[in-house]
Chains A and B, each alone.
Chain A
C-alpha cells in the first residue's frame, strides 16, 4: 500500500530567454531521443509505488496531454487514483520563479483531501535524475521532520532559477533564489505530511502569490524542514546550454548504465521499428532511437525517434529531436535541431562549442 500521493507542477517557465523553451512547457521538452522531461518526475513517483499523481497543467498543455494520455505508460490508468490532470492558475507558462505556487495548491485543494495516504511528494519537471522516493520517505520518517527536501551541493555557480537553502545541522533556516558554488541546491523534490500541507495551504492563503518554500521563510523556526542529500547523477535543465549538456552527458557508458538500470524511466510507448543502419553508414559515440535511418555519418550526437540522416550527410556533436531529416550532404555541428525540421541537401548548420546553434521547431 503506497503511503504517498504525488504532485508535479508543470505550469511555470524558466528565466532563460533561450527560445529552446519557447512554445512548450519545460515538462514536455523532448530529451535524450525519446523522453520528455516530465518522465523523470512521473517515473520516480511510480517506481516508488505511488499510483495517485496530480499534474498541474500550463495553459499550453497540448503536448503534455498528448504525451501522458491516460497515464497508461506509467501504470497510472487506475480505477482508484491514477493520473489527475489539474488546472493551474491563469499564469500560463509566462510565470517564472515560484514553482510550488500557493495559489495552485489552494485551487487544487480537493486533490489533497480525496485520499487517505499519509504523505504528499512534491516535484517539478526540470531535473534529470533518478530519485529513490521510497528512500526519501524513509529518511523523512526517521528524522521526524515536518518536511524533507532533496538537495545536492552545487558543483559550480548555477542558474538563477534554482532554489537554495541555508542549512544548519541539516535543518533549513531560509531559502534563496539562485545558486552559487557549494550551496545546497533544491532538486524540487519534497516530502510533506498531507495533513500538514492542507494546514499550510489554509494558513498561507492570504499570501497565495508566493512559492510554498518562500512563504515558509518566516516559519523555518517553527517547522523542521530537513535536507536529504542526493548523490547520484543529476542535471538541472533551465537553459539551452544545460539542456545540451544533459544530452551529451549520457554519451558515457557509466552514466547511461546508471540511467538505464537504476530506476527505469518510463515514457510513452511508440510503434517504431528498430533503428536501421544502412550499408556504409558511420556511427560512433551516439545515442540512436528506434525508427531512425542512418545512411551518412553520426558522431557524438543524440538522435530522437524517426530521424533520417541521408547519404553523405554528417551530424557531429549535436542533438536532433524526433522526425528531423538531414538531407544528402548536409552537415550539422554543435547544434540542437528541434522536431520535424528538414535540413536541405548540402546546407551546413554550425554552432560552436561555446555557442550551440538552435533551429526551432518546424
Chain B
C-alpha cells in the first residue's frame, strides 16, 4: 500500500441516548436528517470534498442500518481500491476483546488498521455533527504551525462556554490550557472534537495511554492534557461557519428547521461542496390537487394530499387529505393519515399517525414517535 498523507477515523459508535426513541433502533449517525440525508452524510461528504479517500468508521451501538447505509462507501465516492471506507466494529483477538471504552480506546483497538494505512497525519472526526469543513485547509494550518496536534475550535456565546471543552490559547493559536466545562471560562473557543494528529505521535501516545490504569481513554479527558503536559505543540484551527452537534431532541429539531426559509442558516444547495447521500431512486414528489406545501423541504417519492407548513419531509412520506403537518420533521416512510394533525413533532421511519388523530402541539416541547410506532385517534 502506498504511503498516504492523511486518513480519517470517524467515531460513529455513540448511542445518542438524549435523542430518545429516535435512536432506540439506530445509531445516532444513522438518524435521518434534512429530508434526504442521515447525519453521517455530512462528515463523509466533507471527507470526499476534502480529498480524503480513506475513512475508518468506528461503529458499536446498533450498527445494522449504519453498516448497510455505508456499504462500500460508493455513495460518497469512497469506493477506491487503494483506500475507501473501512467499517471498524469492536472485534475479538487471541487475548479476548472488549467494547470500545472511550473515544481514544476505540482508536487504540484499531491501531492495526491505522498502522497498515501508513499515513503521515490522522484526522479524528465525530459522525454526529453537522457542518461543512475543508479538512485540507485545516491540514495546511497544521503543517504551517509545525504542530503535533491541531484542534478545530469555534467561538461559542460566552454564556454557553461553561458547557463545552474550552481552549485557552496564545495569540498565535498555540493551546496553553484545556479546561472541560469550566465554571469561569477564560476563553469562548470550544473544541469541536475534530483533531489532526501527526500519526506517529498519536500511535505512540495511544499505546502509552492503553497501559495507564488511571486513564478513561478519552481524547478530551486524557490525551490532550497529557500532550499539553509533555510540552507538545498543540494549535487551534478556528472555524466560524455553521456547526451543530445535535445532541438533544430540541437541538435536532432546531437544526432541521435551520435548513428552511429564504436565507437558511445551513444551505443544502451550496454548489461548491455538495452533501452526498446513499438514497434510493424514487419518482418526484406529488403534491395533490388539494395539497399545499409552504416553507418546507420535500424529498422524492412523497405524496402530499394535505397541508405541509414549515417542515422537513423525507422520501416516501404520505400526508393524507385534510391532514396538517406543521413545524415537524418526518423521516422516510412516515404516514400521516387523512385528517390527522401533526404539529411540532418528529416522526421516525415508517411511523404512523392514524386518521383524525392529533400528535404534538405548538405550546409544548417537541414530541417524538419512534420507528414503526403508531398513534391512534384519541390517544
State whether the Cβ of A260 lies closer than 8 Å to any Cβ in chain B.
yes
Q: State which of A81-89, A211-219, A236-244, A277-285 sits at the interface with chain B.
A: A277-285
A253 engages B292 (CB within 8 Å): no
Asked whether B299 lies within 8 Å of A277 as measured between CB atoms, the reply is: no
Instruction: Give Cα distance in the complex from A295 to B294, angstroms.
Output: 9
Question: With A and B bound together, what is the CA distance between A60 and B269 in angstroms?
Answer: 32
Contact across chains for B289 and A288 when beta carbons are under 8 A apart: no
Q: A280 with B269: in contact, given A32-B284, A290-B300 (CB under 8 Å)?
A: no
Q: Is the CB of B288 within 8 A of A285?
A: yes
Query: Cβ of B295 and Cβ of A278 under 8 Å apart?
Result: yes
- Complexed CA–CA distance, A278 and B296 (Å): 7
Instruction: Check if B2 is an interface residue, CB within 8 A of chain A.
Output: no
Closest Cβ neighbor of A280 among chain B residues: B294
Q: How far is the CB of B41 from chain A (nearest CB, A)?
A: 10
List which A267-310 residues lie within 8 A (CB) of chain B.
267-269, 271, 273-291, 293, 295, 302-303
Across-interface contacts of A260 in B (CB, < 8 A): 282-283, 301
Residue A207 CB within 8 A of the other chain? no
Q: Which of A22-60 contact B (CB under 8 A)?
A: 32-35
Q: Does A263 contact B (CB under 8 A)?
A: no
Residue of B whose beta carbon sits closest to that of A256: B286
Q: Is B34 an interface residue (CB 8 A)?
A: yes
The complex places the Cα of A293 from the Cα of B261 at a distance, in Å, of 11
Q: Does B119 contact A (CB under 8 A)?
A: no
B274–A275 touching, CB < 8 Å: no
- A73 interface hit (Cβ, 8 Å): yes
CA distance A273 to B282 in the complex (A): 13
Q: When chains A and B are docked, how far (Å) is the Cα of A13 from the Cα of B260?
A: 44
Q: How far is the CB of B216 from chain A (nearest CB, A)?
A: 39
In the bound complex, what is the Cα–Cα distance between A269 and B269 (angstroms)? 17
Mask, B262-274, CB within 8 Å of A = 1, is 1000001100001
A274 engages B297 (CB within 8 Å): yes
User: Does the CB pair A274–B289 fall under 8 Å?
Assistant: no
Inter-chain contact A275/B283, CB cutoff 8 Å:
no
Assembled-state Cα–Cα distance A251/B293 (Å): 16
Are A277 and B291 in touch, CB under 8 angstroms? no
Is A180 at the interface (CB under 8 A from chain B)?
no
The CA of A260 and the CA of B333, in the complex, are separated in Å by 13
Rounded to whole Å, the gap between the CB of B280 and the closest CB of chain A is 8
CB distance from A354 to the nearest CB of B (A): 23
Q: Which residue of A lies closest to B316 (CB)?
A: A260
The size bracket of the interface on B is: 35 or more
Whether the Cβ atoms of A273 and B36 lie closer than 8 Å is yes
Question: In the complex, what's the smallest C-beta–C-beta distance from A78 to chain B, in angstroms?
Answer: 15
CA distance A19 to B100 in the complex (A): 63
A274 contact from B35, B281, B295, Cβ within 8 A: B35
Identify which of A271, A278, A286, A289 contacts B262 (C-beta below 8 A): A278
When chains A and B are docked, how far (Å) is the Cα of A287 from the Cα of B305?
12
Beta-carbon contact of A276 and B297 below 8 Å: yes
CB neighbours (8 Å) of B291 from chain A are: 283-285
**CB of B277 within 8 A of chain A?**
yes
Contact status of A277 and B275, CB under 8 A, knowing A284-B288, A287-B286: no
Instruction: Verify if A259 is at the interface (C-beta below 8 Å from B).
Output: yes
A281, B277: Cβ atoms closer than 8 Å: no
Which of B274, B275, B287, B288 has the most chain A CB atoms inside 10 A of its CB? B287
Q: Which residue of A lies closest to B303 (CB)?
A: A253
Q: Are A288 and B298 closer than 8 Å at their CB atoms?
A: yes
Question: Please, how many angstroms separate the alpha-carbon atoms of A302 and B297 in the complex?
Answer: 17
Determine which of A73, A257, A287 lies in contact with B281 in the assembled complex, contact meaning CB atoms within 8 Å: A73
Q: How far is the CA of A257 from the CA of B268 in the complex (A)?
A: 29
**Minimum CB distance partner of B262 in chain A:** A278
- A253 nearest CB across to chain B (Å): 6
B residues near A280, Cβ cutoff 8 Å: 294-295
How near does chain B come to A282, taking the closest CB pair, in angstroms?
7
B281 in contact with A283 (CB, 8 Å): no
Q: Give Cα A224 to B295, complex, Å.
A: 60
Please report the C-alpha to C-alpha distance between residue A267 and residue B260 in the assembled complex, in whole angstroms.
Answer: 28
Contact A273 B285 (CB under 8 A): no
Please name all residues of chain B whose beta carbon is closer than 8 Å to the beta carbon of A33 when the two chains form the complex.
283-284
Closest chain-B Cβ to A279's Cβ sits at a distance in Å of: 4
Q: Could you tell me if A273 and B288 are in contact, using CB atoms closer than 8 angstroms?
A: no
Q: How close is A266's CB to chain B, nearest CB, in angstroms?
A: 6
Residues of chain A with a CB closer than 8 A to B282's CB: 260
Q: Is A277 a contact of B277 with CB atoms below 8 Å? A: no
B293 nearest CB neighbor, chain A only: A277
A34-B283, A34-B284, A256-B286 given as contacts; is B298 within 8 A of A271 (CB)? no
When distances are taken between beta carbons in the complex, the residues of chain B under 8 Å from A284 are 287-292
- B276 contacts the other chain (CB 8 A): yes
Residues A288 and B36 in contact, CB atoms below 8 Å apart: no
Query: A271: nearest residue on chain B (CB-CB)?
Result: B276
When A271-B274, A273-B268 are in contact, do A279 and B284 touch as well, CB less than 8 Å? no
Is A274 touching B294 in the complex (CB atoms < 8 A)? no
Contacts of A293 in B (CB 8 A): 269
Contact A274 B283 (CB under 8 A): no
CB distance from B39 to the nearest CB of A (A): 15
For B75, the chain A residues whose CB sits under 8 A away are 269
Q: Do A283 and B284 have beta carbons less than 8 Å apart? A: no
A233: shortest Cβ distance to chain B, in Å? 13
Cβ B284 vs Cβ A289 within 8 A: yes
A-B contact pairs, 30 of them (CB 8 A): A33-B283, A250-B283, A253-B286, A256-B303, A257-B303, A260-B301, A265-B283, A271-B277, A273-B35, A274-B36, A274-B297, A274-B314, A275-B285, A275-B299, A276-B297, A277-B294, A277-B295, A278-B261, A279-B262, A280-B294, A283-B287, A283-B291, A284-B288, A284-B289, A284-B290, A287-B284, A287-B285, A289-B285, A289-B300, A290-B299
Known: A34-B283, A284-B291, A287-B283. 20 other contacts (CB 8 A): A32-B283, A33-B284, A253-B305, A260-B301, A265-B283, A271-B276, A273-B35, A274-B298, A276-B269, A276-B296, A277-B295, A277-B297, A282-B292, A284-B292, A285-B291, A288-B298, A289-B284, A290-B299, A293-B269, A302-B284
Measured CB to CB, the residues of B under 8 A from A are 34-36, 75, 260-262, 268-269, 274-277, 279, 281-301, 303, 305, 312-314
